[in-house]
Structure 1
Amino acid sequence: METVFTIEVMPDDLDLLNHVNNGVYVSYLEHARMNWFDQMGIDIKGMVSKKLGIMVRRLEINYIKEAILGDKLQIKTKPARLGHTSFTFEQKISNDQGDLITEATAVIVMIDLNERRSITVIDEIGQYFIAAPTATS
């Protein structure tokens, strides 16, 4: 299920060129992913209390167009792929005129917080993702 998270560009988000700093997009994307979990009813804090966690393994961002002060950005977050110990989100950021600003792919790993190692993605999360094809012999 795809979700949409809206955020407005604030003065602290800008760099010396008066557009959103590239690092700020990482925060925008993170907020949108956390919103996705909330919308799916997945309690991340509850997982942590059970010593389960998630962490970003890889984040690829394609910056297409600048965002400026006052822009209202819509961030679409969509589950894309389920691996054994990881899952992938596809995200797109558009401005209020509908222009595509940024595209991103985030690979997230499921971890055991006691062992500090990757584990199988729990069903509570995995049910929303399309399983990756498996290799055949």
Structure 2
Amino acid sequence: MESLLDITVCSSDIDLNGHLNHVRYVEFMERGRKAWYELIHFPLESFHSEGIMTSIVNINMNFRRECHEHDALQVVTKPVKVGRSSYVFDQTIINSDQLVCADAHVTCVIMDLATRQSTSVPDKLRSHFPSE
């Protein structure tokens, strides 16, 4: 199940070159992952009550197209792979012309809050990833 998050670029998102700051692409994708967790009814806020947390261990991002102030964007977040303690999303930011502005392969790991060590991906999260 993929999630879709609509975002409009505002003036504070723009850098000195007059386009979307590269950091904002990362932030928009973070908001897209948060929307995905909410879509599957396992919001990030509930992780702590499970005694776990999630942490990004790798982001491989391609910047494909400039975005500008007032651009309407959509962040597409799709679960693609799950392992014992890690899982991977493919994320894409597209503009109103359906052109890809950025795409990323994001790897997350589940960690035990007390030990700060990796632990198994909970079944309620695992069940939303394709089986191998």
Query: TM > 0.5 between the two?
Result: yes
Q: How does the TM-score come out when normalised to structure 2? A: 0.96
User: d(CA) in 1 for partners of 2:103 and 2:128?
Assistant: 20
> How far off is 1:49 after superposition?
2.6
SS in 1 for 2:25: helix
- C-alpha separation between the residues in 2 aligned to 1:20 and 1:80? 27
> Is 2:83 aligned against 1:83?
yes
Partner of 1:34: 34
- How far apart, CA to CA, are the structure 2 residues paired with 1:61 and 1:110? 21
Query: Please, which moves more after superposition, 48-57 or 64-73?
Result: 48-57
Letter in 1 for 2:58: R
Secondary structure of the structure 2 residue equivalent to 1:104 = strand
In the alignment, structure 1 segments of 5+ residues that lack a partner are 133-137
SS of residue in 1 equivalent to 2:98: coil
The offset of 1:131, in angstroms, is 4.0
Q: In structure 1, how many angstroms separate the alpha carbons of the residues matched to 2:69 and 2:94?
A: 14
| Equivalence for 1:135 | none
Work out whether 1:125 is the aligned partner of 2:125: yes
Structure 1 equivalent of residue 50 of structure 2: 50
- TM-superposed deviation, 1:99: 1.1
Contact 1:61 1:102 in 2 (8 A): yes
Task: State how many pairs are aligned.
Answer: 132
Tell me, yes or no, if the aligned pair for 2:34 and 2:43 is still in contact at 8 Å. no
For 1:47 and 1:41, locate their aligned partners in 2 and report how far apart those are by CA, in whole Å: 11
When the two chains are superposed, the root-mean-square deviation of aligned CA atoms in Å is 1.0
- Separation (CA, whole Å) in 1 of partners of 2:94 and 2:71: 10
Distance (whole Å) between structure 1 residues aligned to residue 122 and residue 50 of structure 2: 12
Tell me the SS of whatever aligns to 1:41: coil
**SS in structure 2 opposite 1:4?**
strand
8 Å CA contact retained: 1:83, 1:131: no
In structure 2, C-alpha distance between the alignment counterparts of 1:11 and 1:65, rounded to whole Å: 18
Per the TM alignment, residue 85 of structure 1 is displaced from its structure 2 partner at its CA by 0.6
Post-superposition CA distance 1:53-84 (Å, at most 9, x none): 10101011100000100001011100000111
Gaps of 5+ in 2: none
